[in-house]
Amino acid sequence: MPALNEAALERAMDLLAVRFKGPGGVAGVVKDGQVIARRSWGFADIDRRRAMTQGTRLPICSITKQFTCSILLDQIADPAGLEGQVATFLPNFRDPLPTVKQLCDNQSGLRDYWALTVLHGAFPDQEFRRADALPLLTRMKTGHFPPGTAYSYCNNNFRILSELIEAATGRPLGDLYAERIFMPAGMKTAVLLPDTRQPADGVVGYEGNDDIGFLPASNGIYWIGDAGISASLDDMLAWEGFIDATRDDAAGLYNRLSAAPVFADGTPASYGYGLSHDSVAGLKATGHGGALRGFRAHRMHVASERLSIVVMFNHEADARGAAVAILEAALEFDAPQSQTDPAGWDGLWLDDTQGLVLRTAGEAGGVTLRYGTTPARLAVGLDGVAQGGGITLKHDGETLAMRRETENLTVIARRLDPVQVADGRMIASRYWSDELEAGLVIDTRDGATFAGFDGMLGLGPMERMYPVASDVWVITTRRSMDASPPGDWTVQVRRDAEGAISGLVLGCWLARNIGYRRVG
């Protein structure tokens, strides 16, 4: 068991406000069931000069998911008994339906509905009511992989679970949280606040950064069990203390939640019951992050050390990075560095199966991979293999082999010849997706190409569109209703036997292989 360096821990806590610049934040550490470090700095509202305190409630966002799964396990004797009702939320789904456990473990194969709001014409700050969610789900017809075979983060899994729980118990989810979790754990002020337009304690979330400044973020989402809880630092540290106090109870909620997950074939998985299973500072950890526009949060628990860390910001800095920095400092852990020159790693690749572009860039100290929702940083070993965060990359110049262990996904991608200029007039047209029941228009003006989506949520903004290779483009989405925008949508042009453009296939990591046919 590594010794805890309390002096290094205190220094790391003191540096948070400097390293993760923004209006305000809170952080705390629990060891052996006791709070051993706690910080609150800055302002919950910089305009009104309202200080951030350890009692200020902040949205914990997707950390909520583990509490939803806790209620499921606490209230439903046999969650599998709810599976007959999953079809009511997906009445047009043609692929095999996911089980309740696969919903809990992000193994459903469903495309994430917050990514799909972009394709349905949503503006980043428009209102998304609770009543808007289910009609979007009913439009789903196929998944992007068979349930149980792989992992993909998907918020609608937990929206469906929330609806199932409320229907089965006949009680509001917020009341169940309060009675069955918050009260026993001593989370005295935690509450379900589904409407993001009305944050607790007048706290304001901020977009921007220290270079360009900070502006209040405007949110209009109605969450429920996917991301709706608000809690103070004191509340979250009480949860960590409750985890420690029940560590020897095999039937305790957190022990049941944190049981090792697996895929349908028995392969170990890295996500289950709303918890990520990671290796941090060389130790097994469970936890979760959370993000809403203007807010970031992360909690992690290292059971072997009886050690927990919580970080929450009212801005969009890297809360997980802050939590990891605290843990590594406390345990005096030195992260491994690249052992060889990463030269030769620059490349543009296409994953034909998932329909997604990959970018690799060799940089000082390793390789940066852009494929999922956020860039991954990998270290290159003496064998020339890049590894990090459950990802392994190898390439022979023309082919890139990627293993994403945590997702049970193996990718063989082919190198693309990059282009910087292409004639957007060739693809300028209107397209229609039968899968989504939504449209797409592509327009080009003097060499600049734009794409605009329309669907059940309206007529969305025009987004920039860039060529990256022959018949491969990207549409950039930097802002969306969800806190983590889809980023680049890969667009592959489809042609008929005569070479005429007949349609497109569009996708991002959260929502892959969506077909559009040309109608204009």
Catalytic positions, written as ranges? 62, 65
Amino acid at 103: L
Amino acid at 486: P
Tell me which DSSP letter residue 80 carries: G
Helices and strands, counts by H and E, the chain: 11, 29
Q: Which residues contact 161 (CB under 8 A, 6 or more apart)?
A: 68, 69, 72, 100, 103, 104, 225
Could you give phi then psi for residue 177, rounded to 5 degrees? -55, -50
Query: How many Å apart are CA 189 and CA 186, to the nearest integer?
Result: 9
- Rounded to the nearest 5 degrees, what angle is found at the Cα of 510, between the Cα atoms of 346 and 91? 155
State the first-to-last Cα distance of the chain, in angstroms, to the nearest integer.
Answer: 65
Could you tell me the maximum CA-CA distance found in the chain, to the nearest angstrom? Answer: 71
Tell me which DSSP letter residue 76 carries: -
Tokens at residue 453, please?
Answer: 């989506």
Whether residue 379 contacts residue 339, with contact meaning beta carbons closer than 8 Å, is answered with yes
Tokens at residue 363, please?
Answer: 């940089």
Whether residue 466 contacts residue 452, with contact meaning beta carbons closer than 8 Å, is answered with no
Scanning the structure block, which residue is given the tokens 């959260």?
510
